[in-house]
Chain A
């Protein structure tokens, strides 16, 4: 049997050791311990390491549904979605989508967004290092150039919008001994998840702020971003908003040529 076929069959059999066929078992040396049992060691190793890699990303989701529930869901996810890369850092990106279709989780409609929030936290934690924009950098830009300015966000900035009050659910999960019940019909939430230096953070932002930052993240001009934010949210005020995010370090430092961030219409 050629190596290519051996590796394909090994992969399939490992996921389902009972399905070891005669053709394939002839490839292996006979021993006292049957090949099925030996395959189970590999299956356990693989499932365990993938399971650990995903579960560690979802501590709050785990708190909401319990360890056993999450483990079972993750195992089903793994078998249908094997990793496609040789590093596990970004494995599990589609787990929230899986949760959305996962029957036992249907009675918890906020769960997929909680998983998305924790995934965004993971992305922020692992994002490439980059430098924040110097808060004084905008002062050097001529006023007539400001409307066309592009302000890219740092690599770690992730934005998430949900119909559920994710911030309140997070606070509830983080209580040592949560008591009572939390009303989840108290409105939507816009969240910003990012990593200023080493530790990721999440914060609730206003609806206008969300539209503003999303527009900048997508490469739109400062003027367009501010206009869209104001249209959607009457409370949006550009100057303090810029100041806030310059201080937070939301924007990415300009490249070597400042001009590259200004494009002519």
Chain B
């Protein structure tokens, strides 16, 4: 059966269909290259015609992204991409609308739009590239930079307490919240697919390296030698076990907090939490787990999307009052005739 569906579908798209003729202008070695490559790899597999994709961005290194995607694209102004995307998605629910943003664009100047788009559950997919630094303006600290960070604008160290992007998204009841890593190609692809399939708004934090201004920001999580012990892979229905020897796990302590424990010495796999991405409370606790750092889908749930709700309201109004008649509207209320 599925073969038949494929056979009648539009000509098969390939990665090349999503590549533009523009030179990619990120610094050599930037994590954005990998993200772009994975997006260009996944998009053709999703079964949606290329012209239905729209990439909208704000300002910053990551926001150059639309120029390199051979889809419809809109490179807008600093922080406002979620607002533009909302207007587009509400009036054109047939489109697959993606927002590409960064930690400065999405969480500093554009924080307001980000949280409101997520709480409304507008069906837009927000990819936030988090490199914990301002790259395009050449190296100031960002709202995700760690306390004490020394940068051009904080020579004595930052005194700004940072945002936890996943916790922000959880805090505004986003319906899909995930984290992945620029260099984890397979994982990134998997998350992109799930993002597309999620029926509603999605927030993806992509840990991304800025090799010029914040090199090694995520090194413990990407270094081959250490990452098995620093990264906790979240998989729905699977226990929260990690470590080179898969000998560590996360359990719920009797004090109601998450505990990182070693297996053995009386601690068995059955004591370890099984990841349930539908469980909001656990997702929120996991959002605050730092060591190990969880990647994967923290939370996925469904709620009517904003555009569907609005579309239904318009339809209900038509059912109730009939399709609008302009002349009748003009003549509503008290009218009088002058001969």
Do A and B interact with each other, yes or no? no
Q: Which residues of A contact B (CB under 8 A)?
A: none
